[in-house]
């Protein structure tokens, strides 16, 4: 039985929910384990309370950051990117292209923002399709022809239709919580060794078992952010493949998307407003050294050559 794009989008939504739940459990469990280890050495009479308290703090912190990101993340991203809204009369052709693709994708018309930068690139953001935004650079507008521009807009609208924009925001928050927890634990572990509670009789009686747990916790606090980042980026790369395929489904023109990606990736201009916090949003990684090393586990996008190969293969599908 053939798999439809509706199936892929539905699977994407389910995976987003599942990954979010699993990541939440990971964050809370990590906080509980670190709280438990610290309590053994510093508050041995309150191990349970400290462990539960650490888990509660992680949960509350995650919820707060998710809410802040959910309601304020889009405005922050647009401000960082120095994007400004434009009206239909400012660029009728661009509006017509976006309108065509929103009709094809069965989406509400997103707001369009322009970034005054000669480097060609684009991204989409927003909580849901009803309040989504597509932002493009002046370089993209000037350097692509109409069919290539249409393909790029189809790609970005596919991210909106596939609910990738919400997932990317949530995963960024989860990763931030992991980093905060690990940094806090390491500071206490390294600086708290001479604390009064560590000299308690129970702390001394913990012996080798407690020391082993401390070593494990320190190692975990070092590698946990790396593991979380690798998972986040691996999923992001798969979603780029899906957005490419969805864009071809909307435009029926794989050559246009392949040509647009080639032009964007080969352009020598540097997107000044992009940084490591926003690089994953763009259709092509705007930080050139990272794009050149796209085979890395820490790359936000798949290699352009692989993306183009998959896109052109859709011509035979």
The catalytic residue positions are 156
Six-digit token string for 97: 């292209």
The residues, any chain, with a CB within 8 Å of residue 59's CB and separated by 6 or more, are 24, 28
Give the pairing of strands 122-125 and 83-85: unpaired
At 147, list the tokens: 């069919």
Q: Residue 234 is inside which H or E element, if any?
A: helix 207-251
How far is 58 from 65, CA to CA, in rounded Å? 10
* Token pair listed for 301: 């996008």
Give Cα separations from 196 to 37, 53, 124, 311, 314 (angstroms): 16, 21, 52, 63, 66
Q: How far is CA 200 from the centre of its chain?
A: 44
Q: Which tokens hold the place of 189? A: 């572990």
- Please name the residue ranges forming H helices in 135-206: 138-143, 146-161, 164-191, 201-205
């Amino acid at each position: 039985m053939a798999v439809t794009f509706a199936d892929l989008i539905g699977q994407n939504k389910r995976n987003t929910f599942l990954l979010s739940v699993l990541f939440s459990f990971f964050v809370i469990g990590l906080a509980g384990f670190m709280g438990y280890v610290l309590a053994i050495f510093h508050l041995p009479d309150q191990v349970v309370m400290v462990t539960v308290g650490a888990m509660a703090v992680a949960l509350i912190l995650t919820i707060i950051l998710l809410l802040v990101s959910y309601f304020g993340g889009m405005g922050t991203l647009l401000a960082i990117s120095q994007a400004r809204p434009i009206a239909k009369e400012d660029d009728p052709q661009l509006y017509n292209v976006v309108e065509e693709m929103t009709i094809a994708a069965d989406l509400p018309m997103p707001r369009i923002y322009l970034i005054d930068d000669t480097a060609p690139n684009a991204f989409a953001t927003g909580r849901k399709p009803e309040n989504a935004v597509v932002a493009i650079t002046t370089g993209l507008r000037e350097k692509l022809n109409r069919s290539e521009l249409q393909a790029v807009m189809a790609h970005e609208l596919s991210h909106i239709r596939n609910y990738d924009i919400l997932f990317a925001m949530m995963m960024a928050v989860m990763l931030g919580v992991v980093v905060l927890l690990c940094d806090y634990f390491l500071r206490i572990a390294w600086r708290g060794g001479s604390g009064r509670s560590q000299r308690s009789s129970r702390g001394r009686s913990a012996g080798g078992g407690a020391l082993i747990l401390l070593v494990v916790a320190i190692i975990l606090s070092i590698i946990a952010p790396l593991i979380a980042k690798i998972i986040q980026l691996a999923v992001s790369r798969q979603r780029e493949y899906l957005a490419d395929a969805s864009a071809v489904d909307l435009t029926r023109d794989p050559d246009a998307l392949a040509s647009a990606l080639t032009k964007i990736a080969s352009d020598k201009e540097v997107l000044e407003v992009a940084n490591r916090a926003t690089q994953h949003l763009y259709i092509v990684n705007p930080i050139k050294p990272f794009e050149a090393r796209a085979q890395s586990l820490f790359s936000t996008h798949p290699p352009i050559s692989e993306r183009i190969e998959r896109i052109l293969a859709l011509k035979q599908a």
